[in-house]
Amino acid sequence: MSTAYRGRFAPTPSGPLHAGSLLAAVASYLDARHHGGNWSVRLEDVDPPRCPSGSADTILRQLEAFGLEWDASNDAHDIIHGVRYQSRRHDAYAAALEQLKLGRVVYPCVCSRKQWRDFPLYPGWCRTRRTPPAEAHAWRLDIRAAEQWGGNTAIAGWEDRLQGHVQLDLATLGDVILKRRDGLWAYQLAVIVDDADQGITDVVRGLDLLDNSPWQRLLQAALGLPMPRLTHLPLITADNGQKLSKQNLAPALPESPHAIRQRLHHTLELLGQDPPRELAGASPEEQLGHAIPRWSLAAIGKTPTLSAATHL
């Protein structure tokens, strides 16, 4: 890869990591280290009511326990212990929104979810608004702006390093909210501002975010930011076949050193990396050290879901 690789793991601290988020952490870590790259951790705590206090620290402790050592970011005021917290980045997101307003790719929206509940997507009723109304309003991205940067082909289509050529359609995704009516920043805006600010070249994350990528690529085009390479990983499903998530009470990751070793080994197996059986009881550092030079994205395969042994 040409530019120096910079990767990141960017969990939302709405609860501890589970098998699915561990898979994304391990894959993004190994991909970065395999390429001799930098790997940072960013806590995406833009929605404080969804992020119980203590979850961020729990996630950092879990990453340490699994041997996933991150590179400290610089010493800007929003960084604690080398980790960026989005809750401290208000000014940067506000500046990006101002730029988007000037470019006329966003519009203020006063509609409530209830008003358009009979539609599959927000129908864009506020698209013609030019000046922000006095009442509380959200800011939405106008997906029609994509035409200026090559439309769907260039914005909603890309070569995913794992999925191959992906082509989505912005019209089926709609005008996403970038700043909520209650003043909170939305993930779509925060993630691209920080990826650019941190010089991220490679985003490695779960397939659940595949259809968020067109919005993010449109924002990057509109703000003149580089578009990182994208790699979307299979999702781990729970026993009932549903995506594992905090909402469906994914089992917590193990805490005992023995179980952590087994679980890491199993995660490498799920990722198709074929870790040697005799390393199943080895320290995380040893298992990861073995996996880094042998890392293969192709070995993961394009399967959309993986079924994990979460009892380990």
Contact set with ligand GLU (CB under 6 A): 10-12, 44, 191, 203, 205, 209
Closer to ligand GLU by CB, 23 or 203: give it. 203
Q: What is the C-alpha separation between 261 and 121, in angstroms, rounded? A: 44
Closer to ligand GLU by CB, 59 or 221: give it. 59
Closer to ligand GLU by CB, 11 or 254: give it. 11
Closer to ligand GLU by CB, 41 or 191: give it. 191
Q: At closest approach, how far in Å is the CB of 71 from ligand GLU?
A: 17
Angle, helices 19-34/257-270, rounded to nearest 10 degrees = 70
Count the neighbouring beta carbons within 10 Å of the beta carbon of residue 297: 17
Would you call 248 exposed, middle or buried from its count of C-beta atoms within 10 A (0-12, 13-18, 19+)? exposed
Q: At closest approach, how far in Å is the CB of 221 from ligand GLU?
A: 17
Q: What is the C-alpha separation between 112 and 51, in angstroms, rounded? A: 24
**Any idea which residue has 């781990």 for tokens?**
236
Would you call 181 exposed, middle or buried from its count of C-beta atoms within 10 A (0-12, 13-18, 19+)? middle
Q: Encoding tokens for residue 260? A: 């952590």
Q: At closest approach, how far in Å is the CB of 42 from ligand GLU?
A: 8
Closer to ligand GLU by CB, 106 or 203: give it. 203
Q: At closest approach, how far in Å is the CB of 271 from ligand GLU?
A: 17
Distances (CA, A) of 173 to 12, 51, 123: 22, 26, 11
Q: At closest approach, how far in Å is the CB of 12 from ligand GLU?
A: 4
Q: Residue 104 gets which letter from DSSP?
A: T
User: What is the gyration radius of the CA atoms in the chain, in angstroms?
Assistant: 20
Closer to ligand GLU by CB, 127 or 246: give it. 246
Q: Encoding tokens for residue 85? A: 């917290």
Q: At closest approach, how far in Å is the CB of 191 from ligand GLU?
A: 5
Closer to ligand GLU by CB, 71 or 280: give it. 71
Question: Are the C-beta atoms of 266 and 312 separated by less than 8 Å?
Answer: yes
Q: At closest approach, how far in Å is the CB of 162 from ligand GLU?
A: 14
Nearest to 231 by CA among 13, 2, 32, 22: 32
